[in-house]
Structure 1
Amino acid sequence: MAKGTVVHAAEVKTLYVDETYSSKMLIDHTNSLTKNIQINMGIVAPGAKHADHNHKPEYDEVYLIQRGQAMVRLDGVEHNLEAGDVVFIPGGSMHAIANRSATEDLIIFTAWSRLPEPGANSVYDQRLKEWGKSFKTIDED
């Protein structure tokens, strides 16, 4: 029988991408038996806006707004979101996110429908380059 995985976000090392965004890899193939899912917790700084970008067509993505107020632009259409709202981003779609609050972090969970290959996700690639792996706990330093 396959074993499940429990991850405590407070015990996961944060990757600081830049002054506007940081992330914690919560679930992927390095810390669970999954072969198809990647779940990340992203922290978007107050007032931060990220540029439109897209992924290859085979990489669907889901955003779940955990805390804060977001604006997500999906194929040119802007949507204001609150905690609990969910966005499905089909692979190949142009999308961007912004934190609408000037004072509070925006916390989002992102889920990918498959594990990224090199070049498919710049944050995932940065994690591999800096750490040599995608998942790391705070006790590993």
Structure 2
Amino acid sequence: MRKGNVVRASEVKTLFVDETYSSKMLIDRTNSATQNVQINMGIVAPGAKHADHNHPAEYDELYLIMKGEGVVRLDGQEYDLSPGDVVFIPGGSYHAIANRSDTEELVIFTVWPKHPEEGANFVYDQRIQEWGKSYVTIHD
């Protein structure tokens, strides 16, 4: 039987991708018994706008909007976002996110239904390159 666990976001090390985005890996196969899900906490800086990008067709993604106001672009169509909103991003689709506030962070949880292979998610790859693993606490 697999055992559950609790991860405290305040104890997870932040990966600073660039001045517009930072990331905390909350759940993946390195810190829990899951083989089927990956959850990341993404922080979009005030006023930041990201360019359209996609990932391989076999990787659907969900955004859960936790804090702030944003805009997501899905294959050219824009949607306003508020806390509690959920965005389904089919694998292979072009998407981008922007923070509508110039003063507050936009906090999102991103959920992947499986762990990305190398090259599927540049943030996951950056984490492995910088730390040698995907999950690091502030105590490591």
Please, what TM-score do these two structures have when normalized by structure 1?
0.98
Partner secondary structure for residue 139 of structure 1 = coil
**Residue in 2 that maps onto 1:116:** 116
Between the aligned partners of 2:94 and 2:85, the Cα distance in structure 1 is: 19
Partner secondary structure for residue 138 of structure 1 = coil
Quote the sequence identity (%): 73
Structure 1: unaligned runs, 5 residues or longer: none
Between the aligned partners of 2:98 and 2:35, the Cα distance in structure 1 is: 30
Query: What whole-Å deviation, never above 9, does each CA across 1:34-73 have from its counterpart, x for those lacking one?
Result: 1111100000000000000011000000000000001000
Please, what TM-score do these two structures have when normalized by structure 2?
0.99
Task: Map residues 47-66 of structure 1 onto 2, 5 A cutoff.
Answer: 47-66=47-66
Q: Does 1:46 align with 2:46?
A: yes
> Size of the alignment, in residue pairs?
140
What is the RMSD computed on CA atoms of the aligned residues? 0.5
Partner secondary structure for residue 10 of structure 2 = helix
Between the aligned partners of 2:58 and 2:113, the Cα distance in structure 1 is: 8
Between the aligned partners of 2:84 and 2:64, the Cα distance in structure 1 is: 6
**Residue in 1 that maps onto 2:88:** 88
Between the aligned partners of 1:92 and 1:121, the Cα distance in structure 2 is: 12
Between the aligned partners of 1:29 and 1:5, the Cα distance in structure 2 is: 12
Partner secondary structure for residue 49 of structure 1 = coil
Runs of 4+ more than 2 Å apart: none
